Chain A
Amino acid sequence: MNSYSLTHLKELEAESIFVIREVAAQFERPALLFSGGKDSIVLSHLARKAFAPAKIPFPLLHIDTGHNFPETLEYRDAWVDQLGAKLIVKYVQDSIDSGRVVEEKGFNASRNALQTVTLLDALEELKIDAALGGARRDEEKARAKERFFSHRDEFGQWDPKNQRPELWNLFNGKKQIGEHFRVFPISNWTEMDVWQYLYQEKIELPSLYFTHQRQMIARDGQLLYASEALNKRPDEVPVEYQVRFRTIGDMTCTGAVLSPANSMEEIIQEVAASRVTERGTRADDKRSEAAMEDRKKQGYF
């Protein structure tokens, strides 16, 4: 009657929960990096499952660029409340005010790169030795090379040529003082897996993921939200479009897609039919062929 086989989502879930529990067992002070996007929502949902009926034994950490969609923040607070978790927020604005970073200038200015400094400062200040992140290997070519347990030196840097071998399900979290780990429990999930899982688990999402009317600026093949934070060229006039977001990040560099999708099922159909990768809407990845690799080497997620 039973063939003892698992669906791919069940198997991915089991693997991710295993990794999350390894983090809780191997490290003193972990934290879960939470952005309010669908990947960190899945990650925190898995963390809840991993420790139930107890609470998640580490805090969520949000690095707030100051350019978040208001819907994201509203969702974040409600979600954290529902999880019963502790939330720590660190602000890029504080790093700017204290002179740790300098705001980028020009029309393509973004606070995305500045986040790295705020993040590394936060990890150091809070003495976090393992930061869980929702990055996936299918997102980007440099991320395809990433380990589950990603070792970072005392400067928070990733060295792609000197990664630890990772075999079976034996994860080596040993480190020197001052070093830390980034851990990516949903490494093996694809965008499609994430959507199917959200659908299967009936998880509520920020409204940004569903279709809505929004004032947008079309720039270099991207649709950017005409928010206050976006530096506009004189000739750029906002136009209302019916859009939704496929990824949620900083308002100034996250592109939207034209879409009528109004439900999880419609989104899944849309993702299945799409011929463009999810990060095709991210201006920050398009700065150069190795943009993500370079950011990761500096200590980005």
Chain B
Amino acid sequence: MTEVFVEPEFTSAGYLDMELLRFTTAGSVDDGKSTLIGRLLYDSKSIFDDQYDAIKESSEKRGEEYVNLALLTDGLRAEREQGITIDVAYRYFATPKRKFIIADTPGHIQYTRNMVTGASTANLAIILIDARKGVIEQTCRHTIIASLLRIPHVVVCVNKMDLVEYKQEVFEGIRKDFEAFASHLEVTDLHFLPISALNGDNVVDRSTNMDWYQGPTLLSVLETTHISSDHNHTDGRFPVQYVIRPQSTEHHDYRGYAGRIAGGVFKPGDAVTVLPSGFTSRVKSVDSYSESLPEAFAPMSVTLTLEDEIDISRGDMIVGSCDVTPEVSQDLEIMVCWLNEKKLALNGKYTIKHTSREARCIVKDIQYKLNISNMERITDDNDVNMNDIARVTLRTTQPLVFDKYSRNRITGSVILIDEATNTTVGAGMIV
């Protein structure tokens, strides 16, 4: 039976005022990814007694010496049976300072596709390096993917410091190697931390084994990284998702454009252009459920009304007029990460989804494949298989209104769908 202990110092007010950080973890199979997640959850007291009892029992059944925190993250029967992670899972925890969503991605063979999935919505990536091995090819791959996907913050955790006697030289050496490699990439916010996920050094609690390290713990980095400017708040972008026209006498003339702001800030009175039609108008109101707002910004879901009656439907984009204008075109170039066993077909036709617009497209050209170990371009190989990243040229049946992915992750991303199976087969970033 549940007993209830109430901590008197808890007040709900503080909890209502927290930001949300989404992060993903990357590292190869034995780098201790699941252990790190387990440690974060355990040391931040986010594991419940019944969950802990269940993994303790499983660990004992498997004849393991310690309670295997990694078991927390394997939710499917087949994963527990085989001891591997098959698919991305999402975990949640909170501290008094922030709420967190972890995209827990498998480190196995399908690393690229899974990492892309987890990384697509992440503010921050944790890259794990085994202190004994240093910067290896896998580290470079993960970092390149994080850079391609424009994850704004990267935290490099040099793990298993306990196995190198907590030596500062080891950590500094790895940091130097990594910095040399990352200088060729566009990783702007980079942190380095020496940790031991197994023992909990510098994860939630400060390590007593590494006095030479004066920086923050991992949790403290997660709690304090500045994330509110991860969204583009300069270029006004509002993909129209749904048109709201109430069939009631009270709101007979109401015509609202519902959507989620993909960039910039929208205020009543702002001049806007509707693309691709090119009509212009002004914002009459920015509505939420019960009130009109003085302004709204990404990533809020709101409803805009305009001063003029214009024909606008799902798939159109309302654009703030004073900003960088998006491109309107049927031709686009993307870096695509291929997600499916069936390889990408040159001259093949796919359904393309971009913001709220759906069209068909044809693959006109496969320019090159990317060697994601060293960023080199492979031009003499058109076989784009699962987990490959390639630069391709597309022609669409209808014009799309888009930005470069580097400018806006929402208006710059697309997915490709196989028309026969309806499966999502490609994840594309507009170049």
Contacts and interface: CB of A to CB of B under 8 A. Distances in A.
Interface stretch (A9-17, A63-71, A109-117): A9-17
B395 interface: no
B99 A8 contact: yes
Interface stretch (B85-93, B210-218, B359-367): B85-93
A208 to B, nearest CB: 16
B415 A172 contact: yes
Contact of A172 (B17, B89, B424): B424
B353 A188 contact: no
Interface string B88-121: 1111101000110100000000000100110011
Given A165-B339, A276-B49, A14 B301 contact: yes
Interface stretch (A31-39, A74-82, A91-99, A263-271): A263-271
Contact of B5 (A15, A25, A144, A273): A273
A112 B326 CA distance: 51
Given A11-B299, A21-B258, A172-B422, A54 B247 contact: yes
B12 A265 contact: yes
A293 B86 CA distance: 14
B75 A145 contact: yes
A272 B89 contact: no
Nearest to B233: A4
B87 A145 contact: yes
Given A257-B2, A280-B50, A174 B417 contact: yes
Contact of A259 (B4, B353, B414): B4
B89 A165 contact: no
Contact of B117 (A10, A165, A276, A289): A165
Interface in B182-237: 227-229, 231, 233
Given A53-B246, A174-B351, A258-B2, A14 B260 contact: yes
Given A48-B289, A54-B246, A144-B75, A25 B241 contact: yes
A190 B92 contact: yes
Interface in A1-33: 2-15, 17-18, 21-22, 24-25
A21 B301 contact: yes
A289 B74 CA distance: 12
B120 A168 contact: yes
A221 B1 CA distance: 5
Interface string A268-301: 1110111111001100000001100100000000
A15 B422 CA distance: 24
Given A6-B299, A49-B289, A160-B76, A167 B120 contact: yes
Contact of B228 (A4, A166, A168, A257): A4
B94 A192 contact: yes
Contacts, number: 225
A262 interface: no
Contacts of B422: 172, 174-176
Interface stretch (A120-128, A134-142, A231-239): A134-142
B48 interface: yes
Interface in B135-167: none
Nearest to B415: A170
B16 A170 contact: no
Contact of A170 (B75, B229, B413): B413
Given A4-B228, A7-B16, A21-B258, A280 B351 contact: no
A60 interface: no
A274 B20 contact: no
A10 B290 CA distance: 15
A160 B183 CA distance: 40
Interface string B245-269: 1111011001010111000010000
A163 interface: yes
A14 B293 CA distance: 15
B391 interface: no
Contact of B87 (A160, A168, A193): A160
13 contacts: A14-B301, A18-B301, A25-B314, A54-B251, A141-B74, A144-B89, A161-B78, A167-B117, A167-B424, A172-B424, A222-B1, A269-B7, A275-B48
